[in-house]
Each structure stands twice: as structure tokens, then as C-alpha cells.
């Protein structure tokens, strides 16, 4: 089963990090966040990826072109230009890199991949967020309901301290608990090829008309994920994600102990 990664955005709110590289290549714990997302899928058996490129797609292409050589020891015969690789320290991934346009919107990028997505169920997510969701459980939920699309619903991260007043005094201060918030689009989908017919063209934003129409048609199922989820929209998010990698296993890693459970609806 293919997993589509939307990796063509400009990342305007990460100007300092993404001026010379696309947002999915911003590093978290010494590796691009794109790599972390792919590892989350591959650890559960999903090893074929279609990466929809846009802004600075050449950087992503170069990363994967050099990946095998940079991960292993090399012997280079300069006279004959022969390269011998010692070792095979690489993931078992098949990565399809597809140019989908510089200005194309999220839905349009999917639509441009239609020829290779027709005929089978596929996964889809963005190249700028990490999550502890198990894609196998997400797929099971999708198949059980038999609809065209399944979306992962998550709690928005608590960003601000909550205040309880007693007159002008602060009687209580605490971080907002996630359980007090609503559900939002977590960005991890399972989709049937028929979803592509809900997309008009390059200017279609997937999160608007296509998802709205799928919901109206009773074809959109929610998989409620109570575990870790974090997007990377701002430099603050980059710093947070890096702090979670600082000398320890991050909470979105498949090997993280005590990962919170999930439940479907």
C-alpha cells in the first residue's frame, strides 16, 4: 500500500529554517521531519512512499539520491571513478519522488498523482507533523466502516497556561489539559481512489471542498487518536520537537515505551 506525503509547501512561518530548503527537510533531532514521518509508517510495515514535491523539491531529491552513500562507508577509486560501498545501513523503503507544481494546493497535488493512485486504497499525510498513531489501526478502522475516507482526529496541543481568578488574584494556574479541547484534523488519512474525483484541479485545497463534500455525503469517518500529535508550523514548534529528541526517544517514535492508546469511532 502506498503512502502519499505532501511535501511541497512553502513553510512561510518557518522563514529562518525553510528559506533554502522545503519545510519537510527542517531537521528534528538531526534528521528531516520527513524522515521521522516515514519511519513511523515503515515500522508498521508501510514501506512504499509517494512524495509530492513542490517548493525546493530538488533538496528532497538530493537527500534521497545521497542517502545510501552517506549512511555507509565508502571506498572511492579516483582514477576510475568507481565507488565501493561497505555495509548496507539503510531502510527498506521504496520512495517515488514526484514534482507536483510550485503553486499547487494540497488537493491538486493528490490529483496530479491520480494515475499511480487509482485502483487501491492509499495512505496520505502532510510532511510537517509527527504522531504516535498506528497506521495499521487506522487502516482497520477505515476498512471496518467501508467509507471513502478516514481522517485521524486529534486533540490540539495545550499552548497556553489556564488561569482561574479570585477577584483580581490568580487562584489557580495550570496548563490547559487536552481533554478540555475539541477535536481537530490530525492530518493522517486513509483514502480510496474515488476521493480523487472530489478534487477539481490544482487550486483545490483538500481540507476545504473535498473533505466538506465527503462529510456531506456520509463518506468521511473519524479515527480518534488520544496519543501524541504535534505539527510543525512555527519556530516554536521546531524547538519543542527538538527538545523532545534531546538525548531520548521522542514520543512519536514507534519504539517509545508507554505510548498512549487509541480508539476509533
In sequence order, what DSSP letters do the residues of 52-102 get, joined into one string?
A: EE-TTHHHHHHHHHHHHHHHSEEEEETTTTEEEEE-------EEEEEE--S
Does the pLDDT of residue 79 top 50, yes or no? yes
2-244: CATH topology is Spore Coat Polysaccharide Biosynthesis Protein SpsA; Chain A (3.90.550)
pLDDT at 260: 43
Does the pLDDT of residue 175 top 90, yes or no? no
Assigned C-alpha cell, 251? 514520543
pLDDT category, 157, cuts 50, 70, 90?
confident
Range with the lowest mean pLDDT among 10-14, 125-129, 150-154?
A: 10-14
Does the pLDDT of residue 262 top 70, yes or no? no
Range with the lowest mean pLDDT among 88-97, 171-180, 211-220?
A: 171-180
Mean pLDDT, the chain, rounded, equals 87
Model pTM score: 0.87
Does the pLDDT of residue 177 top 90, yes or no? no
Q: What is the CA radius of gyration of the chain?
A: 20
Residues 241-256 have pLDDT tens digits of 999 999 889 999 998 8
Residues 195-230 have pLDDT tens digits of 999 999 999 999 999 999 999 999 999 999 999 999
Phi/psi at 227 (5° precision): -85, -160
Tell me the domain boundaries of the chain: 2-244
> b/e map of 31-59 (b: 16 or more CB within 10 Å)?
ebbbbbbbbbbbebebbebbbbbbbbbeb
Amino acid at each position: 500500500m502506498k503512502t502519499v506525503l505532501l511535501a511541497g509547501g512553502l513553510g512561510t512561518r518557518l522563514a529562518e529554517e525553510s528559506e533554502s530548503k522545503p519545510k519537510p527537510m527542517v531537521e528534528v533531532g538531526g534528521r528531516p521531519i520527513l524522515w521521522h514521518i516515514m519511519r513511523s509508517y515503515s515500522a508498521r510495515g508501510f514501506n512504499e512512499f509517494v512524495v509530492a514535491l513542490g517548493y525546493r523539491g530538488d533538496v528532497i531529491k538530493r537527500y534521497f539520491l545521497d542517502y545510501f552513500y552517506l549512511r555507509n562507508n565508502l571506498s572511492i577509486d579516483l582514477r576510475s571513478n568507481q565507488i565501493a560501498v561497505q555495509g548496507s545501513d539503510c531502510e527498506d523503503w521504496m520512495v517515488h519522488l514526484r514534482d507536483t507544481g510550485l503553486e499547487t494546493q494540497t488537493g491538486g497535488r493528490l490529483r496530479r498523482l491520480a494515475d499511480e493512485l487509482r485502483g487501491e486504497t492509499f495512505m496520505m499525510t502532510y510532511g510537517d507533523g509527527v504522531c504516535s498513531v498506528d497506521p495499521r489501526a487506522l487502516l482497520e478502522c477505515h476498512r471496518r466502516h467501508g467509507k471513502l475516507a478516514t481522517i485521524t482526529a486529534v486533540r490540539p496541543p495545550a499552548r497556553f497556561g489556564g488561569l482561574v481568578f479570585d477577584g483580581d488574584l490568580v487562584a489557580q494556574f495550570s496548563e490547559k489539559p487536552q481533554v478540555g479541547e475539541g477535536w481537530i484534523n490530525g492530518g493522517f488519512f486513509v483514502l480510496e481512489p474515488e476521493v480523487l474525483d472530489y478534487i477539481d484541479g490544482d487550486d483545490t485545497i483538500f481540507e476545504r471542498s473535498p473533505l466538506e463534500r465527503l462529510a456531506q455525503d456520509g463518506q468521511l469517518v473519524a479515527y480518534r487518536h488520544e496519543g501524541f500529535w504535534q505539527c510543525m508550523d512555527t519556530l516554536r514548534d521546531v524547538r519543542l520537537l527538538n527538545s523532545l529528541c534531546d538525548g531520548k526517544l521522542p514520543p512519536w517514535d514507534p519504539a517509545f515505551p508507554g505510548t498512549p492508546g487509541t480508539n476509533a469511532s
